[in-house]
Chains A and B, each alone.
Chain A
Amino acid sequence: MANEILEEHINKDYEWGFTTDIAADEAPKGLNEDIIRFISAKKNEPEWMLEFRLKAFRNWQNMVEPEWAHVSYTKPDFQDIIYYSAPKPKKELASLDEVDPELLKTFAKLGISIDEQKRLSGVQSNIAVDVVFDSVSVKTTFKETLAEKGIIFCSFSEAVQDHPELVKKYMGMAVPPTDNFYAALNSAVFTDGSFCYIPKGVRSPMELSTYFRINASGTGQFERTLIIADEDAFVSYLEGCTAPQRDENQLHAAVVEIITHKNAEVKYSTVQNWYPGDKEGKGGIFNFVTKRGICLEDNSKISWTQVETGSAVTWKYPSVILKGNNSVGEFYSVAVTNNYQQADTGTKMIHIGKNTRSTIISKGISAGFSNNSYRGLVQIKKGASNARNFSQCDSLLMGDKCGAHTFPYIEIKDRSAVVEHEATTSKIGEDQLFYCKQRGIDNEKAIGLIVNGYCKEVLNKLPMEFAVEAQKLLAISLEGSVG
């Protein structure tokens, strides 16, 4: 039945003069309703999904690109982007041998192994991985192991097909399609992503991980992640990403939504390493991402940990809406900018329920000619009695041509709230560097040591596998930035 409707749509598309070969693996450049229909048809989507997209698109057309962030860049030409690009070979790969060796190399670098062989040969690799390659989910490992526990972990497209009731219920709950310019764009054109559902009372036996990669040139990546933790459920989720070096700016506009029910907890960790552009600021990813979680019910917890080292421009505010009483939101962030990178990142903690608590630890590091801003909102709504927030925003400057900025916004509508904010700005000390050198540690290693020490509170929150890689990444990102 659904297929018939779809067929009809495809035919309709053709009527509209849509000349692209339906079998093509790439949509033509540009964005209009036809393209959206093309994507939806490509993905064999039900009508409600197409409707969701079209609605978002129509909204998006009336929206303007936000300009309040402390970044400046040439706005992308949204008609010059390819919105759908399936990797070749398309669809699910039968074995890992078929995956781009470059990709596997990056995996190894990230400390993630998708090699199920490892598990079979008795080497414990405790991460299940979903790979989103350009726009299409390549492989989800450990699906069976997870299924035994009732955990659903699959690509977003599969979820639309196999678990439409869950997708329908939760998609757009944390990030409505009209939320902001990029979220609306994503809602219209997203091509894949990850979906994760942890049923009642289940603690995920392993870390779940999605790995994103933009590969083809001229494409944008618009993935969507939806994570639902039902009552008493727990999951730790990792997200990694890379993109090859290209002279052009590529757009990445993702949406991540997390929903936690009663007593549930989701820990979401990201190591963002999109291509930042070259030393002169040429190329690099525009990373405009909307990440938000809702602690829907009492005693639930959402924790964001991010290590941001990549992208030419980052615009990202992983947030938590603390709706349930006693719910807890956390944001731990390290953002590094070097050369001509620009980052405007932070969080929003919206306290609605009683006794809700939030913690914000943000560590910005700026080097080169870069600009690094923390932007955070702590909002205590009326009736959110005894809400607590603690924010600490530290900036570390390397050299004197970079900038660090802090924009904390606090809105308190309940008198019982206690909100604390601390901020520091420091320079990486010549004294510290010399002290390290006097002990035989060279400049690069010394910077790595000092920076990792500075970020320790955040790095400590990352799962082991990620923490080690994140430390290395920090050092690499700052290579040659001092002395």
Chain B
Amino acid sequence: MISIKNLHASIGDKEILRGINLEVKAGEVHAIMGPNGSGKSTLSSVLAGREDYDVTEGEVTFNGKDLLELSAEDRAREGLFLAFQYPVEIPGVSNINFLRTALNEIRAYHGQEEMPAKDFLALVKDKSKLVELDSKLASRSVNEGFSGGEKKRNEIFQMAMLQPKLAILDETDSGLDIDALRIVATGVNKLKSKENATIVITHYQRLLDYIVPDFVHILYKGRIVKSGGKELALELEAKGYDEIKKEFEIAD
């Protein structure tokens, strides 16, 4: 699915990603954990094609394509989806209109015709049920005036609508109440298949009880310093980052 090799990225003259290596295969779920400011969101932004960051070294292959060569919109069209840590409000643009535009742009990229309005609305109905999204939210402006939790749920709704190959969920669990967490996690699980993959960025083991990862990686100061199975998350939950910080402070 995606293969990241020695990825370095900086903003201005500040290097944030300092040699990331990560291999995600179809059907897998990877969790990335790490202290605040370690570069988790930066990694997802760089993969999604945000231009504020300069990739100074490394390569990323996404389903056989050189990801870094693609524009942000083409990465999305190739099936890369990012559930934002801070979803953006777009006043005056209804969720429905936004998603229809997105969906049809992606379809056009693959040489498919626009989805007929009827099918689209059926899809909306189906997918909003999946994440138990209030139908009123679907017709409201994109994220405008949504509560924190509603925004996160809306991200997963969009993911369900666009059916990406690789979804990166950047702290989708933060700000969700217990029930919403379960609903969102169930939604993600239902969307899981052998053909797609998920990268879950989180601070909490709790989410990983619902979305069980195949691999857990710890990101620290722009590097993946430790990888393991799901037990690594439990270990972290118990001990915190102290040990890791001590161990890798020197290498800084």
Contacts and interface: CB of A to CB of B under 8 A. Distances in A.
A449 B98 contact: yes
Contacts of A429: 88
Contacts of A454: 91-92
Contacts of B82: 438
Interface string B25-64: 0000000000000000000000011111000000000000
Interface in B76-98: 76-77, 81-82, 84, 87-93, 97-98
Interface in A415-466: 429-432, 434-443, 445, 449-450, 452-457
Secondary structure type dominating chain A contacts = helix
Contact of A441 (B51, B73, B89): B73
B88 A435 contact: yes
A431 B158 contact: no
Interface stretch (B100-108, B121-129, B193-201, B207-215): B100-108
Given A435-B84, A435-B87, A449-B98, A440 B92 contact: no
A147 to B, nearest CB: 40
Given A445-B105, A449-B101, A439 B92 contact: no
Contacts of A438: 48-49, 72-73, 75-76, 81-82, 84
Contact of B92 (A431, A434, A453): A453
A131 B84 CA distance: 51
Given A438-B48, A442-B105, A455 B88 contact: no
Contact of B76 (A437, A445, A450, A456): A437
B71 interface: yes
Nearest to A454: B92
A443 B51 CA distance: 13
Nearest to B75: A438
Given A450-B90, A450-B93, A454-B91, A439 B50 contact: no
B162 interface: yes
Contact of A445 (B81, B91, B101): B101
Contacts of A436: 90, 98, 102
B93 A452 contact: yes
B248 interface: no
B90 A449 contact: yes
Contacts of A455: 92
A453 B93 contact: yes
A443 B102 CA distance: 12
Given A431-B88, A445-B105, A437 B93 contact: no
Interface in A303-360: none
Contacts of A445: 101, 105
Contacts of B73: 437-438, 440-443
A439 B76 contact: yes
B101 A441 contact: yes
A435 B105 contact: no
A422 to B, nearest CB: 14
A117 B208 CA distance: 67
B160 to A, nearest CB: 13
Nearest to B143: A435
Contacts of B89: 432
10 contacts: A432-B90, A434-B51, A436-B90, A436-B102, A437-B49, A439-B162, A440-B103, A441-B102, A442-B105, A453-B90
Interface of B: 48-52, 71-73, 75-77, 81-82, 84, 87-93, 97-99, 101-103, 105-106, 109, 141, 158, 162
Interface of A: 429-432, 434-443, 445, 449-450, 452-457
Given A432-B90, A437-B71, A449-B98, 6 more contacts: A432-B89, A439-B98, A439-B99, A440-B109, A441-B102, A455-B92
